[in-house]
Amino acid sequence: MISQDIETVLLTEEQIEKRCVELAKQIEDDYNKEGEVPIVVGLLRGSVPFMAELIKRFTFPCEIDFMSVSSYDGTESIGDVKIDKDMDLSSKERAILLVEDIVDTGRTLSEVKKMFINKGATNVKIVALLDKPSRRVVDIHADYIGFEVPNEFVVGYGLDYNQKYRNLPYIGILKREIYE
Ligand code: IMP
């Protein structure tokens, strides 16, 4: 059972769902005001459960797409961000809502946001389920944040350790013995 590897449950499924309702409402109000049809772009693979939870609550028109970038290896983020799978839709002259699981050092989102601006996106917003501000090395502003988390390695609800634990329905701190 993968739940045996969890030290502490940080955020329950109920807490996450409740917060997603609030975030979706806030996002919806903003896009309704702007009148744009954004492309909601999920960064694979960590954003999938969070993105599913959010988009089913949007009542405004939007398109969805995914891209995959690699930014970290094991528990440490590395500087080099490369695109492993680009999105299929064109971002030129489009509003983009980037969906990410966690903002850690901030390097991934900073690079991806720059890339969208270079490709001619009119507006790039960021929604992240988690924020670990203590680890930030790049000054990046996420427009919408679900929860702030302490400087611990967390898994579940899309977040992995070596590709495992993404399917846990909650977010928990991984036992140190698993990765040390
Ligand atoms: P950043 O570029 O350092 O902000 O890295 C963001 C990426 O690092 C996220 O998309 C995650 O894939 C990964 N990451 C950072 N912290 C954690 C964590 O606590 N658990 C699982 N993945 C993490």
Q: Note the pLDDT of residue 143.
A: 98
3-state secondary structure of 167: coil
Give the pLDDT band of residue 53 (cuts 50, 70, 90): very high
pLDDT value for 35: 86
Q: What spacing in Å lies between the alpha carbon of 131 and ligand 1's midpoint?
A: 9
Separation of CA 53 and ligand 1 centre (Å)? 20
The pTM score is 0.94
One-letter amino acid at 103 equals V
Please report the pLDDT score of residue 34 as a whole number. 84
pLDDT number for residue 19: 98
Cα–Cα–Cα angle for 134, 143, 72, nearest 5°?
Answer: 50
- 98 Cβ below 6 A of ligand 1: no
Q: What pLDDT, in 10s, does the model give residues 127-136?
A: 999 999 998 9
User: In whole numbers, what is the pLDDT of the chain averaged over residues?
Assistant: 93
pLDDT in tens, 20-43: 999 999 999 999 988 899 999 999
Supply the pLDDT for residue 70: 85
Nearest to 95 by CA among 41, 21, 23: 41
- pLDDT tens digit sequence for 71-120: 655 455 555 678 899 999 999 999 999 999 999 999 899 999 999 999 99
